[in-house]
Structures are given as C-alpha cells and as structure tokens.
Amino acid sequence: MNAIDLAVPRGAVYGFLGPNGSGKTTTIRMLLGLVRPTGGTHALLGRPIPAAAASVLPRVGALVEGPAFHLYLSGRDNLRRLDAADRTADPATADARVAAALDRVGLAAAARKRYRAYSLGMRQRLAIASALLAPRELLILDEPTNGLDPQGTREVRALVTALAAEGATVLLSTHLLAEVEQVCTHVGVMHRGRLVAQSPLTTLREGAAPLVRVETDRPEDAARVLRDHGLASVAVEAGAATALLGPAAPEKLVVGLVEDGVPVRGFAVLAPSLEETFVALTGEGFDVSG
C-alpha cells in the first residue's frame, strides 16, 4: 500500500476498482482501524485512524468483506446487538432505527427470521442495513454483490443506486466493471497497492483514446495501411484490424484502404470500453491478481 488518497466528493458514488489482490480490502480495513499499516499514518474524514476512530467511525457505515452475523440470532436481533455496541446510539430510538434500516433494505418481513435461514442476497442486504442504523457521512461497501446470483446482484445494485439518489456518499469497492458503469459517478483504480487513476467517470471516458476497427478478409493488408497512415497500437485479429485512431481523420483512412484494394466490410470508430481503459491503466487483464 502506498500513498493512497481517495477523494470521495459528498454525494458521490465512488467506484473503488481494482483486480483481486490489488489492495482494496486492505485499504478499507486500514480506514476502519482493523489492521495497522506496517509504516506511516492514515486518516478517514480528515481525522487520523486509529487515534480518532471513536469519533469518526460512528459517522461511517461499513460493509467489510461480506456480511457476518450470528447464525442463531434473527436479523433484527443481530442489528440490535450492533446498535447496542455503539456508544453514540440512542437506546430510546434503537427499535425504531433497527426497524427503519430493515425496512429500507426490504427485510422487514424477514426481521424475525434467523440469520441462518437468510439467502446470500438477504445477508448482504442485512449488512447494508447495519450500515444504515445511524445517519452517516460515508458508506463503505466492500464488494456488496460478491457471490450473489443475478437476482441478488440486481437487488443490491438497486439498493445502492437508491441510497445514492437519496444523497448518501458511498465508497463502493468492487472488481466488477459493469457495477461501476451502472452505479458509480466517480472511480479510482487500485493496482498493486497503488491508486493509479482517480476521476469522475465521465472524464475518464472522455480522456480515453478512440479506436478504429476495420473489418476485412485481408486484415494484414489493412494493418499495413493503418500503419502507413501513422496509427499506433495496430493489432490484427481474425477478420479485422484495429488501431488507436490518434489525430488521423477516419474518412481519409477509408479512402486509403479502398485505394490500396483492401476489401472493407465494415469500418468503425469506437470509444474504448471501460475494460480496455482499465487494462491500459493496470497493464494487464482485469481479473488477474495484481
């Protein structure tokens, strides 16, 4: 871990993205005071951790590395226990806050069920409910859709989106690009313990270099033409050639291809997918451990 400064604007949903093993969870564990750095200091909401943990953490709701509750207690009793442990919580409003949090995540009907009987999606939602027991400055959600089936994933993503719409500030750690594209407004990318990029999602997309793709049955020839026009990163695949467009004008490329007798079946200028952007940032396939 090295000099990470996560700037999460108020009201943003910040996608904290990185391959498995890139240090996302370790960063979160440090922010929550669960583990100590081998050297140096760190701060959360501008206050040093763990020194100021007692005053900062009550304002932070967290889901860390999956839900964890007592199997033999009901969802409601599990939340009551966490609330009882919170010295800043008002006991007089405990039952109402627990009920409201369960209701917010759609677990009101299952409140009295034992946690043992909860599906994985319900367990994740209960963990999010535990983060909603008090008003928070920040919600830290670490891989909230991990291990969920498509139905559970939809449930949890809809919940995060709804919370964000209500104005919550969310730090969402994930290795799923689709999640970031659907849910997040800002994004930071971790790679091998470093934060390699951080910006609003729209900026990141605009900054990405467009690609040109030529579909043809003679990709080698097409690649040669693209190279002759000064395009970089020319690649050949079955039935197509691709390259970074750069400053070249696409219409001139088409003319050049036709003049060289390359049979063009298709021609497209593509904004790169988010995935390609991240591969460019991290220099390797996305699901490969860093």
Partner 1 sequence: MSAVDLTLPVPRRRVSTRFFRSELRLIFGRRRNWVGLATLAAVPLVIAIATRVAGGPGGGEGPDFFAYITDNGLFVALAALTVELPLFLPIAVAAIAGDSVAGEANVGTLRYLLAVPVARARLLAVKYAGVVVFAFAVSFLVATVGLVAGLALFGGGAVTLLSGTQVGMAEGLLRLFGVCVYIGVCLCALGAVGLFVSTLTEQPMGAAIAVIMLTLASFVLDQIPQVAWLHPYLLTHHWTDFGELLRDPVSLSALRPGLLSAAAYVLIFLSAAWARFGSRDVTS
Binding region for partner 1 (CB under 8 A) out of 75-83, 98-106, 193-201, 259-267: 75-83
Applying CB under 8 A, which part among 40-48, 97-105, 117-125, 216-224 lies near partner 1?
Answer: 40-48
Q: Is 263 in the site for partner 1 (CB under 8 A)?
A: no
When binding is defined by CB under 8 A, the residue of 39, 46, 247, 261 that contacts partner 1 is 46
CA distances from 242 to 69, 234, 269, 277 (A): 50, 6, 10, 15
State the minimum distance, in angstroms, from the CB of residue 146 to partner 1: 13
Choice between 70 and 227, CB closer to partner 1: 70
Partners of 206 in the β-ladder:
none
Interface residue with partner 1 among 1, 21, 33, 236 (CB under 8 A) is: 33
**Which CB atom, from 80 or from 194, has the smaller least distance to partner 1?**
80
| Residues 16-43: b if buried by 16+ CB within 10 A, e if exposed | bbbbeebbbbbbbbbbbbbeeeeeeebe
Q: Does 70 bind partner 1 (CB under 8 A)?
A: yes
- CA distances (Å), origin 78, targets 115, 170, 216: 8, 23, 61
Restricting to residues 127-156, name those near partner 1 by CB under 8 A. 130, 134-137
The interface region with partner 1, picked from 58-66, 176-184, 199-207, 250-258 by CB under 8 A, is 58-66
Q: Considering beta carbons, is residue 132 or 222 the nearer one to partner 1? A: 132
By the rule CB under 8 A, 208 interacts with partner 1: no
Q: Give the residue from 44, 34, 88, 39 showing the smallest Cα distance to 65.
A: 34
Minimum CB distance to partner 1 smaller for 74 or for 216: 74
* Strand-pair partners of 215: 240, 266
Comparing CB distances to partner 1, the nearer of 64 and 110 is 64
CB atoms within 10 A of CB 66: 14
**Backbone angles phi and psi of 148, in degrees to 5:** -90, 150
Helices within 107-216 (DSSP H only): 120-131, 150-165, 177-183, 201-207
Residue of 39, 91, 150, 261 that binds partner 1 (CB under 8 A): 91
In sequence order, the 6+-apart residues with CB closer than 8 A to the CB of 178 are: none
138 or 214: CB nearest partner 1: 138
Task: Give the shortest CB-41-to-partner 1 separation in angstroms.
Answer: 13
Give the integer Cα–Cα distance in Å for 223 and 237.
10
Chain positions contacting partner 1, by CB under 8 A: 5-8, 10, 29, 32-36, 43-46, 53-55, 57-60, 62, 64-73, 80-82, 84-88, 91, 130, 134-137
